[in-house]
Amino acid sequence: MRASLSLQNISVEFPIYSGNSRSLKKVLFNTTTQGNLARDARDRITVMALRDISLDLAHGDRLAVIGANGAGKSTLLKVLAGIYAPTSGRVMASGRVSALLTASIGLNMDATGRENIITRGMYMDIHPRDMRPHVDEIVEFTELGYHIDMPVRTYSSGMMVRLCFAVATALRAEILLMDEWLGAGDAGFLAKARRRMEDFVADTSILVLASHSMPLLQQWCNRAILLEQGRVAAIGSVDDVAAAYESGRA
């Protein structure tokens, strides 16, 4: 069965529990919304991270998610990964999801890197019996040496990226979600990671990639959406949506 991913009227709302402060109320005085801020029926101040997003992805789709910082790109990916539950709407996914998002998600900081290979795999819904045959290959790819048997809390951000990237790309995923977090690491590792990533993406049924790098999005994606204040402002080819984004910034 081929992978599929469907979002039906997805909204995500984060309450601001200190929202009774005079400064925030002043921002919202006599208004219903101000950017991503809103006031609900109970007079609580909330951040509307995503607003009524509907989207259908099928086998072969490579979706670029474009938008300014704070537009909702990372929130959308976390909803697709099951990290955030939508306030309203439905997410339906068919196929195993692999998410290369914030490097520290799914790690036990007091466990060793080797132990976290299994832990991170479980977070990705991979059973330990399926992950164990890949442990040696993952360890070799990370090039962490003796650090692999040290607690992850002793790792630099680049070392955590190495570990999480190696785990996330060890087993084929039908649906791959990627945020722009691979910048940590030395040039040699990044070159090796790019080669591995190209092979991994080629074997993936659906890709969702959020990035500010237009050349990267044009290389890997065949569709795009533009997010503005949590809403889909444009949808189409990568070139057309990128042009809409750039024209809005001009």
pLDDT in tens, 49-64: 999 999 999 999 999 9
pLDDT (mean) for 54-82? 94
Query: What is the reported pLDDT for 41?
Result: 57
pLDDT (mean) for 17-35? 49
Instruction: Using the predicted structure, report yes or no on whether residue 32 has a pLDDT greater than 50.
Output: no
Greatest mean pLDDT among 115-129, 134-148, 158-172, 209-223: 134-148
Residue 5 domain-assigned (yes or no): no
Supply the angle between the helices 113-123 and 157-168 in degrees, to the nearest 10: 50
Residue 17 domain-assigned (yes or no): no
Residue 34 domain-assigned (yes or no): no
More confident residue, 15 or 62: 62
User: Please, which pLDDT band fits residue 34 given cuts at 50, 70 and 90?
Assistant: very low
Residue 148 domain-assigned (yes or no): yes
Residue 168 domain-assigned (yes or no): yes
Q: Which domain holds residue 205?
A: 55-249
Instruction: Using the predicted structure, report yes or no on whether residue 93 has a pLDDT greater than 70.
Output: yes
pLDDT in tens, 218-245: 989 999 999 999 999 999 999 999 999 9
Residue 176 domain-assigned (yes or no): yes
Query: What is the reported pLDDT for 206?
Result: 95
pLDDT (mean) for 85-92? 94
What CATH number is associated with residue 86?
3.40.50.300
Domain count along the chain = 1
More confident residue, 179 or 52: 52
Residue 39 domain-assigned (yes or no): no
pLDDT (mean) for 125-154? 94
pLDDT (mean) for 89-105? 84
Task: Supply the pTM of this predicted model.
Answer: 0.81
Query: What is the reported pLDDT for 16?
Result: 73
Residue 14 domain-assigned (yes or no): no
In this structure, what are the phi and psi dihedrals at residue 108, rounded to the nearest 5 degrees? -95, 110
d(CA 235, CA 54): 11
Instruction: Using the predicted structure, report yes or no on whether residue 211 has a pLDDT greater than 60.
Output: yes
